[in-house]
């Protein structure tokens, strides 16, 4: 959600900023803008609604904007509609129009996050003579910094610190001050922001891909910390204005990992990267051939003493939790509750002692998941984060971290990060069961071997993707699709349904198959597509019966099951098989055809697969 970039150095800034913004497009946006300075007191501000290409056209790919210091932004609207006037950057000076053109303003800034008390702050600033041209909370925060800067005649860092004490909410901010040419000031709380220094230049960005071409060494600014970014140099400050040292983190993945690498879309590339993501994640949890959680810092004593596990997450990560619930309870006998982070944070559910809270998040920045983690820590729970992005806020704030090794995921619809999370939770379940003596050593070895075989089985499914492509062309005009299953098959249905709706815009629902006749079956009409997930031996016949009930009301049926269950072809219109594995681990295989189904349906409908409308990759607002 929203992307921020900044550059100061010897080169022309605007082309570098546009290139960086292009790498952040996956975050989701509806308008974009740049502010560039050439050393004078003036800043050139250019904004455009819609695609980044409009901004690039307006500035001749950035070449028309002179200046070697600048900031850029892609905006995902929160306060105020997606329009020129609300697009960033915003300026502190009173001006008419949209705050763009050549402006002489003490402060110019871009922001990612939400300022919760912006209305109250706006009133205060109005009383002090400030005028506002936009509906954004960002204009308020830029003007608030300006207010402190001018009222107390203090430097940028002190003005920013006063602002940080006064505002509530989340922010990553990049600001330029008229009196400090060639410098960018940054501050953050709960929204991502990184800084990289290379030779005689320095870069800011919301995420690594935007600056990876220039440097692999990055700094993660902490909450309520500020930075002064100069060519070739960065200085960090705490809330008192005292200088602090921050460690540098080396990014280990290649720039190519964040490129399409010959695939038509990031999503298709990431679907194909799943064997590697699963293999690498599993490898990171194997020590001498045995599953181990030692690197997370979770001790065997903690695992043995657990009375309950609470899994908290959003979207697909929550679906991973739903699947893990069945596996952990079945293998290890530990009760599991799975909560939506957005609900958990406002509930006051009593929590039994010896509860481990597991937060699952690809980005490690999802606002609701982060807030839930903080609530759990306040309640004194031990916390484990299952996170893909190294150094992200959730990873830094949890007691223990289990990193999935999926590499950068760019497509908004998650695929490889989901699969990496799933295998990580399966490994956790097996290790938990082993440590608690819930299963024999032979069973632990058998399950470990089954997990190790998953990547090759995913590859085999991918080799047969043409069938799904053909089927998706038949269903691309569907109005409604229902995904049904029981137990783990219900968890897979949830993910299959989300994959379909988020990128194809076809209405779809996932239902526990037994629930259909309690209301949903009234929605079944002639030719409504019902996808039945039928991988669990004990539940197979039950779900087939529920599908037959849909068929009797005109539904068109697709069955998804494991090789060997060929009798299903008598009951459904189209069947997809995945290789056999232990029943606990089938979601890792069954989800692949459903990802492909969503992908090809989106392609067949001519939609923007990687950047679906209204969605953002990392949801950093509540």
Residues in contact with ligand AGP by the rule CB under 6 A:
314-317, 361-363, 366, 369, 412-414, 498, 502, 618-619
Q: Cα(501)–Cα(509) distance, rounded to whole angstroms?
A: 9
Which strand (E) or helix (H) includes residue 21? helix 13-23
Cα–Cα distance measured from residue 228 to residue 183, given in angstroms and rounded to the nearest whole number? 7
CB of 366 to ligand AGP, least distance (A): 3
The CB-of-7 to ligand AGP minimum distance in angstroms stands at 27
Residue 620: φ, ψ to 5°: -95, 10
Q: Which of 47, 178, 499, 617 is catalytic?
A: 617
Task: Supply the minimum distance, in Å, between the C-beta of residue 14 and ligand AGP.
Answer: 30
End-to-end Cα separation, the chain, in angstroms: 11
CA 100 to chain CA centroid, Å, is 31
Strand order in the sheet with 194-198: 101-103, 43-49, 31-37, 69-75, 3-8, 201-205, 194-198, 217-220, 248-250
Could you identify the residue written with the tokens 């529920």? 546
How near is the Cβ of 615 to ligand AGP at its closest, in Å?
7
Q: How many residues in the chain?
A: 622
State yes or no: cis peptide before 89, omega within 30 of 0: yes
What is the gyration radius of the CA atoms in the chain, in angstroms? 26
Nearer to ligand AGP, 370 or 484 (CB): 370
- CB closer to ligand AGP out of 104 and 608: 608
Q: How many CB atoms lie within 10 A of CB 136?
A: 24
HSE at residue 381, side-chain half, CA atoms within 13 A, is 28
Chain centroid offset of residue 550 CA: 35
User: Among residues 2, 230, 314, 550, which one is catalytic?
Assistant: 2
Considering the complex, state which of residue 14 and residue 317 has its C-beta at the smaller distance from ligand AGP: 317
Q: Among this protein's residues, is 51 annotated catalytic? A: no
Burial class, 518, CB count within 10 angstroms (exposed 0-12 / middle 13-18 / buried 19+): exposed
Q: Considering beta carbons, is residue 121 or 420 the nearer one to ligand AGP?
A: 420
Q: Which is nearer to ligand AGP, 414 or 602 (CB)?
A: 414
- As measured in angstroms, the least distance from the Cβ of 188 to ligand AGP is 18
Q: Indicate the DSSP class of residue 256.
A: G
Q: For ligand AGP, which is the closer residue by CB, 142 or 385?
A: 385
Q: By C-beta, is 414 or 504 nearer to ligand AGP?
A: 414
Q: Sheet harboring 243-244: ordered strands across?
A: 90-91, 107-115, 169-177, 184-189, 225-230, 233-237, 243-244
Q: Quick check: 14 and 62 in contact, CB under 8 A?
A: yes
Q: Burial level of 298, CB count in 10 A (0-12/13-18/19+)?
A: buried
Please name which of 252, 228, 253, 223 lies closest in space to residue 239, comparing C-alpha atoms. Answer: 223
Q: How far is the CB of 341 from ligand AGP (least distance, A)?
A: 8
Tokens of 615: 């969605």
| The token pair that represents 197 in the structure block | 């220094």
Output 140 or 498, the one with its CB closest to ligand AGP. Answer: 498
To ligand AGP, the closest distance from the beta carbon of 610 in angstroms equals: 11
| Half-sphere exposure in the Cβ direction for 176 (13 Å, CA) | 36
Angstrom distance (rounded) from CA 16 to CA 211: 9
Could you tell me the smallest distance in angstroms from the CB atom of residue 271 to ligand AGP?
12
Instruction: Measure the CA–CA gap between 552 and 547, rounded to whole angstroms.
Output: 9
Tell me the C-alpha to C-alpha distance, in Å, between residue 256 and each of 28, 193, 197, 209. 21, 22, 21, 10
Shortest Å distance, C-beta 598 to ligand AGP: 9
Cβ nearer to ligand AGP, comparing 530 with 591: 591
Q: Which residues pair with 43 in a beta bridge?
A: 37, 103
Q: Please, which residue, 78 or 292, has the CB nearer to ligand AGP? A: 78
Among residues 187 and 594, whose Cβ is nearest to ligand AGP? 594
Q: Tell me, yes or no, if 213 is annotated catalytic.
A: no
Nearest one of 122, 100, 133 to 31, comparing CA atoms: 100
d(CA 527, CA 506): 15
Q: Smallest distance from the beta carbon of 554 to ligand AGP, in angstroms?
A: 30
Q: Who contacts 125 (Cβ-Cβ below 8 Å, separation ≥6)? A: 132, 140, 143, 144, 147
CA distances from 307 to 318, 339, 413, 424 (A): 21, 17, 34, 21
Select from 39, 48, 91, 44 the least CA-distant residue to 64: 44
Minimum distance from residue 567 beta carbon to ligand AGP (Å): 33
CB 84 within 8 A of CB 98: yes
- Give the residue numbers annotated as catalytic, written as ranges: 2, 617
């Amino acid at each position: 959600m929203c992307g921020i970039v900044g550059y100061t150095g010897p080169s022309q800034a605007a082309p570098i900023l546009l290139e960086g913004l292009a790498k952040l497009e996956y975050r989701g946006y509806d308008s974009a803008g740049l502010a560039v300075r050439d050393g004078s007191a003036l800043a050139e501000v250019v904004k455009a609604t819609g695609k980044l290409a409009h901004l690039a056209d307006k500035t001749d790919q950035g070449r028309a904007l002179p200046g070697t210091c600048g900031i850029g932004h892609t905006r995902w609207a929160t306060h105020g509609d997606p329009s020129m006037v609300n697009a960033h950057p915003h300026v502190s000076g009173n001006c008419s129009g949209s705050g763009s053109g050549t402006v002489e303003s003490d402060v110019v800034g871009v922001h990612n996050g939400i300022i919760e008390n912006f209305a109250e702050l706006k009133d205060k600033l109005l009383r002090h003579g400030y005028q506002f041209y936009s509906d954004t909370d960002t204009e308020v925060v830029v003007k608030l910094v300006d207010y402190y800067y001018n009222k107390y005649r203090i430097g940028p860092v002190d003005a920013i610190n006063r602002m940080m004490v006064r505002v509530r909410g989340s922010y990553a901010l990049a600001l330029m001050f008229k009196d400090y040419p060639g410098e960018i000031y940054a501050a953050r709380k709960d929204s991502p922001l990184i800084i990289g220094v290379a030779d005689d230049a320095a870069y800011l960005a919301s995420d690594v891909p935007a600056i990876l071409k220039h440097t692999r060494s990055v700094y993660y600014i902490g909450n309520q910390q500020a930075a002064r970014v100069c060519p070739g140099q960065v200085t960090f400050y705490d809330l008192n204005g005292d200088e602090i040292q921050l460690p540098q983190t080396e990014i280990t993945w290649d720039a190519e990992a964040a490129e399409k690498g010959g695939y038509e879309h990031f999503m298709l590339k990431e679907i194909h990267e799943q064997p590697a993501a699963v293999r690498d994640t599993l490898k990171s949890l194997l020590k001498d051939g045995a599953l181990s959680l030692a690197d997370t810092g979770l001790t065997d004593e903690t695992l043995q003493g657990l009375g309950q596990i609470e899994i908290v997450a959003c979207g697909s990560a929550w679906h991973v939790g739903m699947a893990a619930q069945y596996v952990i309870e079945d293998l290890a006998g530990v009760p599991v509750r799975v909560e939506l982070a957005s609900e958990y944070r406002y509930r006051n559910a009593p929590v039994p002692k010896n509860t481990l809270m597991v937060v699952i998040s690809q980005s490690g920045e999802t606002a609701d998941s982060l807030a839930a983690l903080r609530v759990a820590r306040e309640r004194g729970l031990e916390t484990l984060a299952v996170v893909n992005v190294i150094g992200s806020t959730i990873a830094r704030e949890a007691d223990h971290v289990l990193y999935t090794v999926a590499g950068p995921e760019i497509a908004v619809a998650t695929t490889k990060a989901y699969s990496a999370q799933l295998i990580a939770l399966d490994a956790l379940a097996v290790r938990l069961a082993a440590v608690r003596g819930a299963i024999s050593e032979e069973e632990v070895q058998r399950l470990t071997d089954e997990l190790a075989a998953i990547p090759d089985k995913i590859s085999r499914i991918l080799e047969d993707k043409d069938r799904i492509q053909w089927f998706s062309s038949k269903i691309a005009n569907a109005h409604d699709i229902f995904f049904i299953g029981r137990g783990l098959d219900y968890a897979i249905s949830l993910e299959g349904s989300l994959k379909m709706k988020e990128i194809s815009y076809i209405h779809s629902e996932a239902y526990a198959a037994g629930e259909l006749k309690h209301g949903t079956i009234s929605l079944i009409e002639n030719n409504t597509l019902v996808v039945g997930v039928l991988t669990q031996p004990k539940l197979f016949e039950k779900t087939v019966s529920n599908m037959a009930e849909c068929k009797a009301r005109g539904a068109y049926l697709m069955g998804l099951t494991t090789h060997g269950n060929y009798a299903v072809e008598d009951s459904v219109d189209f069947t997809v098989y995945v290789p056999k594995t232990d029943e606990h681990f089938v979601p890792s295989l069954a989800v692949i055809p459903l990802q492909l189904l969503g992908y090809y349906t989106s392609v067949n409908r001519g939609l923007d697969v990687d950047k679906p409308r209204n969605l953002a990759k990392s949801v950093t607002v509540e």
